[in-house]
Amino acid sequence: MALLEVEDLRVSFDTPDGVVRAVRGLSFTLAAGSTLGLVGESGSGKSVAVQTITRLTRGADVGGRVVLDGVDLLTANEEELREVRGARIGMIFQDPLSSLHPYHRIGWQIEEIIRAHEDIGRAAARARAADLLGLVGIPRPETRVDDYPHQFSGGMRQRVMIAMAMALSPEVLIADEPTTALDVTVQAQVLDVMRRLQEEFGTAIIMVTHDLGVIAELADDVVVMYAGAAMERAPRRELFYRYHHPYTEGLLTSLPLRGEASGRLRPIPGSPPSLIAVPPGCPFAPRCQYAFERCSITPPLAAVLADPRHQSACWLPADRPRQESAEEAA
Amino acid sequence: MARFLIRRILQGIVVLWLITVAVFGLFFVVPNDVARTLAGRQATPETIALIQHRLGLDQPVWKQYLDFVWRALHGDLGYDYYHQVPVTHIIAQALPITLSLAIGASIIWLVLGVFNGVLSATHPRSLEDRGLTAFSLFFYSMPPFLLGILLLYVFYYQLTLRGVTWFPAGGYVPFAQDPTAWFQHMVLPWITLALLLAATYTRLTRASMLDVLGEDYIRTARSKGITERRVIYRHGLRAALTPVVTQFGIDLGQLVGGAVVTETVFSLPGLGNTAVDAITRQDLPVIIGIVLVASAAVVIANIVVDVAYAALDPRVRLH
Ligand SMILES: Nc1ncnc2c1ncn2[C@@H]1O[C@H](COP(=O)(O)OP(=O)(O)OP(=O)(O)O)[C@@H](O)[C@H]1O
Ligand code: SF4
Ligand SMILES: [Mg+2]
């Protein structure tokens, strides 16, 4: 059984301009100890989706189910949620500087998460904090616990965030673009640290990213998101070699070839639909080179392809031809 | 830190010096007839000249000023023109009253303002938020004397009519003499001043809190599984307090110069009241003395605010 199941997750925000449907029926499962990659363009609802897992999207209307070990977090009360947050699901975010409290010492911030869930004294928590800093590769951890976030470099700050999120060896680590704000060389180091801790603690990771390179390196399964919904879900190799959805194809073919400095996406022509008035039918239709009549009228169902773990929300036949360049890129 | 303090104190001294020059200058630009007033209606020119000589007013202005500075540097601010009481003595009488008023009121308005601000910010656009905003704006837009008189009417006049004499009509009793009476005399002035200023703090705290609560580190705090109260106070308010502390320092510094209207309504012989009297009587030594104390308070408050700022925000370095 899966550790975490997200079923038909729907998240919307009531804004002065109208109701923003940021997540529209997202489903995926996360197996214990595995890594799930969540990719998609900016604004596709990745952050909203993963933050809603622990109900951090305040003021949002939320529907669907998020089941952790048989318990639906969306109907859990405040107390039950608190026991999950930090202890069973850890989180790290894109910008490690703004995600750490500027007025509190690093050690204090790590001690706080430990003491929120365990009945231990300050001194013991502090020693644990220093151990954790050492574990994520911060030199002289016993003295660095007394430093403030602004005294660390970007990569070191993200290591601090990882140390904090992993302090209670949670079953799930949600990493929302953890390397986007970092230099390329630092990115690799930070990913290494995450991978190492994952092996050590057996943590499952939800890795939100723009970067298909990161997906190719880390993910066991991939969910491709567009306009708040999953376009395609598949195991990594299946997705890279036998992708089905034209949006996935767009992402893969816009990937710079190997050897170029960064694996970041080059944008697909056109822009995503407004989440206030999502058109009926396939949300990708206005930008899809294969679109036909039916596409903009009826929303495609998530068709199961040859591999039962592979699903694609597209009307095209299962055996549609694919572009060659994408496979090379993968 | 030490260099910062030395530089700021030197700057403060320059400011105080410039202020004395300005006050002295102003006093002699407008025609002054202190000697004539003192001598009475029928005084002969000789009497007036004598009085002028005794007060040192027959000296050239620059000489009077140098005398003043010389004595001031020795802790002597001269004597008042009318009763020959040392100005330092007058200030020593009035300052504790003004400080009692300012400090007591500031505690009330700070607690009230910050608490209401946090409540408003954590329930934006709710009934509490709207109610608190209306409440604070009501007092904010009220003329100070009106609020003071209303409180007197209700708590002194009406209660006394009903035989309850908790609140006197005004005046002051030193704390050392009778703490209970001191408290009874101060409560209404405190409330008056606090209600007038609380609105500013409610709105400042609300705005600052709303900013902070949208920050990424608040989301991080929530993701750690700590209580919402802890998120709001230890993470939110801790960061939101900085602009509030700045405003508090500035307001408190200014209040030491005297809360004139409140002191007048409640007949508190504090610095504000004393200054108004001195100005009407053109009692230069007293005016200068009070202006000096008030300015020094503002200067000190500003230094304290900067130090507090650095203490609150570890990213700020004093230099
Ligand atoms: N609190 C909110 N109120 C209103 N709209 C919101 C709110 N939070 C997010 N949104 C909207 O939801 C949509 C999805 O945002 P989200 O941050 O999840 O995208 P994302 O896929 O993470 O993008 P990026 O890659 O840029 O991080 C966006 O259109 C955003 O404007
Ligand atoms: S359903 Fe139609 S428009 Fe949508 S991706 Fe498939 S082919 Fe393109
Ligand atoms: Mg995001």
- Domains in chain A, CATH or no CATH each: 2-224 (3.40.50.300), 250-258+265-313 (no CATH)
Across the interface, do A116 and B216 touch by the CB < 8 Å criterion? no
Question: Is the model's pLDDT at A302 over the cut of 80?
Answer: no
Q: At what angle do helices B179-213 and B144-151 cross, to 10 degrees?
A: 130
Read off the tokens for B248. Answer: 């508090």
Among A259-268, B4-13, B44-53, the least confident range: A259-268
- What is the per-residue pLDDT across B59-84, written as a single tens digit (0 to 9) for each? 888 888 888 889 888 888 989 988 88
Ligand 1 atom 12: residue of nearest CA: A22
For residue A150, give how far its alpha carbon lies from the nearest alpha carbon of chain B (Å): 7
Question: A4-15 and A60-68 as β-strands: parallel, antiparallel, unpaired?
Answer: antiparallel
ipTM of this predicted structure: 0.91
- The model's pLDDT over B107-146, given as tens digits with 9 standing for 90+, comes to 999 999 999 999 999 998 889 889 888 888 888 888 888 9
Which of B179, B181, B189, B180 minimizes the C-alpha distance to B270?
B189
Please tell me whether residue A60 adopts helix, strand or coil conformation: strand
Q: Please, how many CA atoms are within 13 Å of residue B19, restricted to the half-sphere of its CB?
A: 18
B257 versus A132: the higher-pLDDT residue is A132
pLDDT, residue B143, reads: 87
Q: If you measure from the C-alpha of residue A41 to the centroid of ligand 3, how many angstroms do you get, rounded to a whole number?
A: 9
Q: Is A315 in the pocket of ligand 2 (CB under 6 A)?
A: yes
- Which ligand is closest to the CA of A51, given by its number? 1
For A300-327, what is the mean pLDDT? 79
Search chain B and give the residue with CA nearest A91.
Answer: B223
Number of neighbouring beta carbons within 10 Å of residue B220: 26
pLDDT score at B2? 85
Q: Which helix (H) or strand (E) holds A196?
A: helix A184-201
Using the mean position of ligand 2's atoms as its centre, give its distance from the Cα of residue B158 in Å: 80
Instruction: Locate the chain A residue with the closest alpha carbon to B315.
Output: A150
Instruction: Quickly tell me which residue has 């003192």 as its tokens.
Output: B38
Structure tokens at B209: 């809190």
pLDDT given at position A262: 52
Share of chain A above pLDDT 70, in %: 93
In chain A, the residue whose alpha carbon lies closest to the alpha carbon of B234 is A104
Give residues (CB < 6 A) around ligand 1.
Answer: A 13, 15, 20, 22, 40, 42-48, 210, 275
Neighbours of A120 (CB within 10 A): 14
Residue nearest to atom 3 of ligand 2 (CA): A285
Q: What distance in Å separates residue A86's CA from the closest CA in chain B? A: 4
User: Do residues A286 and A273 make contact, with C-beta atoms less than 8 angstroms apart?
Assistant: yes
Q: What is the pLDDT of residue B32?
A: 67
Q: Which domains does chain B have, with CATH numbers?
A: 33-76 (no CATH), 87-312 (1.10.3720.10)
Global pTM reads 0.88
**Which protein residue's CA is at the shortest distance from atom 16 of ligand 1?**
A45
Output Rg (C-alpha) for chain A, integer angstroms. 20
Query: Which atom of ligand 2 is closest in space to residue A294's alpha carbon?
Result: 2
Closest residue CA from atom 6 of ligand 2: A314
pLDDT tens, A105-154?
999 999 999 999 999 999 999 999 999 999 999 999 999 999 999 999 99
Residue linked to tokens 């509490």: B128
Is the pLDDT reported for residue A264 higher than 80?
no
Residue ID of nearest Cα to ligand 1 atom 8:
A48
Which residues contact residue B294 at a Cβ distance below 8 angstroms, ignoring those fewer than 6 apart? B254, B256, B257, B258, B271, B275
Phi and psi torsions of A246, nearest 5°: -60, -30
On the question of pLDDT at B48 being above 70, the answer is yes
Query: Do residues B247 and B200 lie in contact, with contact meaning Cβ atoms separated by under 8 Å?
Result: yes
Interface residue B215 vs chain A (CB under 8 A) = yes
Chain A residues whose C-beta sits inside 8 Å of any chain B C-beta = 51, 54, 56, 78, 81-87, 90-91, 93, 95, 98-104, 112-113, 116-117, 148, 150, 161, 164-165
Name the DSSP letter for residue A74: T
Residue A329 has pLDDT above 80, yes or no: no
| A327 has a pLDDT exceeding 90 | no
Q: What are phi and psi of B13, to 5 degrees?
A: -65, -40
Tokens describing residue B119: 């409540």
Q: Please report which confidence band the pLDDT of residue A61 belongs to, taking 50, 70 and 90 as the band edges.
A: very high
What the block records as the tokens of B146 is 């009106």
Which atom of ligand 2 sits closest to the CA of residue A315?
Answer: 1
Angle at B7 between CA B1 and CA B11, to 5 degrees: 140
Please name the member of A83, A98, A148 whose beta carbon is closest to the beta carbon of B216. Answer: A98
Mean pLDDT in chain B? 90
Residue A200 gets which letter from DSSP?
H
CA distances from B125 to A65, B278, B317 (A): 29, 49, 37
Select the more confidently predicted residue: B265 or A263. B265
Lowest-pLDDT range of A31-40, A43-52, A65-74, A266-275: A266-275
- The yes-or-no verdict on residue A4 having pLDDT over 70 is yes
Average pLDDT over residues B187-212: 94
pLDDT above 90 (res B207): yes
Q: What is the rounded distance in angstroms from the CA atom of residue A301 to the CA atom of residue A320?
A: 16
Q: Is A295 in the pocket of ligand 2 (CB under 6 A)?
A: yes
**Closest residue, chain B, to A92 (C-alpha):** B220
pLDDT in tens, B9-33: 999 999 999 998 988 888 777 666 7
> In angstroms, rounded to a whole number, what is the distance separating the alpha carbons of residues B246 and B154?
34
Is A284's C-beta closer than 6 angstroms to any atom of ligand 2? yes
Among protein residues, the one whose CA lies closest to atom 7 of ligand 2: A291
Tokens of B164: 């309850």
Element (H, E) at A126: helix A122-135
Mean pLDDT check: name the lowest of A94-98, A215-219, B257-261.
B257-261
Range of lowest pLDDT (A15-29, A251-265, B283-297): A251-265
Closest CB to B225 among A83, A98, A99:
A83
Q: Which secondary structure element, helix H or strand E, spans residue A156, and what is its range?
A: helix A154-165
The span from the first CA to the last CA of chain B, in angstroms, equals 7
Q: How far is the CA of A175 from the centre of ligand 3 (A)?
A: 10
Bigger pLDDT: B38 vs A217: A217
pLDDT band for position A307 (cuts 50, 70, 90)? confident
Query: Would the CB atoms of A87 and B219 count as touching at under 8 Å?
Result: no
Token pair belonging to A296:
């903009």
Residue B215 reports pLDDT greater than 60: yes
Instruction: Check residue A270 and give its pLDDT.
Output: 87
Do residues A74 and A62 touch, judged by C-beta distance below 8 A?
yes
Query: In three state form, how does the secondary structure of chain B look?
Result: CHHHHHHHHHHHHHHHHHHHHHHHHHHHHCCCCHHHHHHCCCCCHHHHHHHHHHHCCCCCHHHHHHHHHHHHHCCCCCECCCCCCEHHHHHHHHHHHHHHHHHHHHHHHHHHHHHHHHHHHHCCCCHHHHHHHHHHHHHHCCCHHHHHHHHHHHHHHHHHHCCCCCCCCCCCCCCCCCHHHHHHHHHHHHHHHHHHHHHHHHHHHHHHHHHHHCCHHHHHHHHCCCCHHHHHHHHHHHHHHHHHHHHHHHHHHHHHCCCHHHHHHCCCCCHHHHHHHHHHCCCHHHHHHHHHHHHHHHHHHHHHHHHHHHHHCCCCCCC
Nearest Cα of chain B lies from the Cα of A203 at a distance, in angstroms, of 17
B123 touches chain A (CB under 8 A): no
